Structure 1
Amino acid sequence: MLTNPRSDRVRSVRALSRRSVRSRTGLFLAEGPQSVREAVVHRAEHVRDVYVTAQAAQRHTDIITRAEDAGLHVHETSADVLSTMAETETPQGIVAVCRRADLSLDAALAGLPPDAVVCVLTHVRDPGNAGTVIRGADAAGADLVVVSDASVDVYAPKVVRSTAGSIFHLPVVVGRPVNEILAALAARGIRRLAADGAGTTLLHDAPLDGPHAWVMGNEAWGLPAEVRAQCDDVVRVPIYGLAESLNLAMAATVCLYASAEARRRAGR
């Protein structure tokens, strides 16, 4: 059992709360039973170590059994050690150190189906928003999420927690400039739909019958005019009540579910 919160191993896990360390090592931390379960079930090859208290191991025998069956290293820790490793104030007794599943933009686009749905996040800064959009994209059956440079690190602990495990379900490409992302989508014949309140096309009239990408802007200022100009259409989610607007995560989820409904009608 690991019992020393000051050991080098414990400190190296804790250091993954820093972006510079995640970038240098290619590792990140998944906290809590939901995230660890999805990592073990869907991306076991990317899980380096699982750390768990004795109490949590008894509560989550399914996770431990699945991890051991996959040949993963499972380490029992004291509550103090687990608390030191985790970023949350009240950790749930289990964390996993995972390797980033880095994927190039070209490789991700090459693997898409003919009716692909992509979600592009440009300059998104809020960890909760980024994680919730990834979770919504997963729930709506999107095929890919692309996060531009100058955005929040999707492997930050709060983002990973906000995805509720969805970061282990679908490919996520990070760190590319917006112009490069839009050009690559166009080269693949993927229609680029800017989701913005300035749009003249209403969501229910949007062309969702072929491969397309929803391009979402920053939480505060949305999509700049030059980005909207590079898209094939600018689509507005109609507001029927008195609310001024929808926040990023809400708008993205509404748009992605519109795409899911279009797929359903097409028979997929």
Structure 2
Amino acid sequence: MTDQPLLSNARSDRVKQVAALGRRAARDRQRRFLVEGPQAVRELLGYAAPAAEVLYVTESGAERHTELVDAARDAGVPARACTEQVLAAMAGTEHPQGVLAVARHVDVPLADALDAVGERGFAVVLTHVRDPGNAGTVLRGADAFGASAVLVSSASVDVYNPKVVRSTVGSIFHLPVSTGTPVPELLSACRARGIRLLAADGSGTTLLPDVDLAGPHAWVLGNEAWGLEPGVRDACDEVVAIPIQRAESLNLAMAATVCLHASGSTRRR
């Protein structure tokens, strides 16, 4: 698979450097992150190959996923053979499925993400979303329903957290993602581009089936526990509630999925 020697020492400096990317401080310092599992690696190589730096693969992983090794070679990404023990030491999961990549950060400047929305697109804004699984699920939903961009505030979870990356199942490589901007600046930037801000909140007086989704707009989502902060909600153009028949409420990821589906359906019509 490679002319380089097999990586077999789980305590080597290289392995420690890769494993350190499980911590945010190391990710921020190196501007790199982990991409674990065959599906995520496949999307990395298919949609963001220039960001890929190296592919680590076990013997069994190479046998199961020969197409990934070939794709890495075609993209000029070095593939390095390693033992199961080394891959386990690098990865954040108990069973990394034989493949793991290290990639450079793929987020884009806020202006570029807003350019992608344009005059007909829609986006999602995460204001204080802290749970990695929720953030990743929202990003995956945005990708599935045709959102133009995802805007993640500086108050939200790190999108390069391994749990976020895994839960996007590769969607993080499919659409522009902007990170690190304070919430007030995010909202102001959207307004300056003519993007209507729709707060997704159970207190809304406008029901989702009645909201106008024709023009450029952004769904603004709040924290899992306390929802949208009053100042953020008040800064939005409209507060929209999802009609619920019996359940007390929807969690963040479910609510986001419903709203994004509504926007995507409007675009298809």
| Distance in structure 2 (CA, Å) of the matches to 1:122 and 1:173 | 12
Scaled by the length of structure 1, the TM-score of the pair is: 0.97
Q: Which residue of 1 aligns with 2:252?
A: 248
Q: Which residue of 1 aligns with 2:225?
A: 220
Q: 1:110: Cα distance to partner?
A: 2.3
Scaled by the length of structure 2, the TM-score of the pair is: 0.97
| Distance in structure 1 (CA, Å) of the matches to 2:205 and 2:160 | 35
Q: 1:113: Cα distance to partner?
A: 3.2
| Distance in structure 1 (CA, Å) of the matches to 2:86 and 2:69 | 18
Kindly indicate whether residue 194 of structure 2 is the aligned counterpart of residue 201 of structure 1: no
| Distance in structure 2 (CA, Å) of the matches to 1:106 and 1:196 | 26
Letter in 2 for 1:156: N
2:84 is aligned, of 76, 79, 100, to 79
Aligned with 1:111: secondary structure? helix
Q: Which residue of 2 aligns with 1:153?
A: 158
Kindly indicate whether residue 15 of structure 2 is the aligned counterpart of residue 10 of structure 1: yes
Kindly indicate whether residue 94 of structure 2 is the aligned counterpart of residue 89 of structure 1: yes
| Number of aligned residue pairs | 264
Q: Which residue of 2 aligns with 1:67?
A: 72
Kindly indicate whether residue 194 of structure 2 is the aligned counterpart of residue 189 of structure 1: yes
What is the aligned-residue identity percentage?
Answer: 60
Aligned with 1:194: secondary structure? strand
Aligned with 1:98: secondary structure? strand
| Distance in structure 1 (CA, Å) of the matches to 2:166 and 2:37 | 8
- 1:54-133 matches, cutoff 5 A: 54-133=59-138
| Distance in structure 1 (CA, Å) of the matches to 2:239 and 2:83 | 53
Q: 1:250: Cα distance to partner?
A: 0.4
| Distance in structure 1 (CA, Å) of the matches to 2:41 and 2:186 | 31
Unaligned runs of 5+ in 1: none
Aligned with 1:97: secondary structure? strand
Deviations 1:17-73 (A, max 9, x none): 000000011000000001111001110000000000010111011111111111111
CA contact (8 A) 2:206 2:238 kept: yes
Aligned with 1:34: secondary structure? helix
The runs of at least 4 aligned residues of structure 1 exceeding 6 Å deviation read: none
| Distance in structure 1 (CA, Å) of the matches to 2:176 and 2:115 | 12
| Distance in structure 2 (CA, Å) of the matches to 1:137 and 1:108 | 13
| Distance in structure 2 (CA, Å) of the matches to 1:51 and 1:74 | 6
Q: 1:90: Cα distance to partner?
A: 1.7
Unaligned runs of 5+ in 2: 1-5
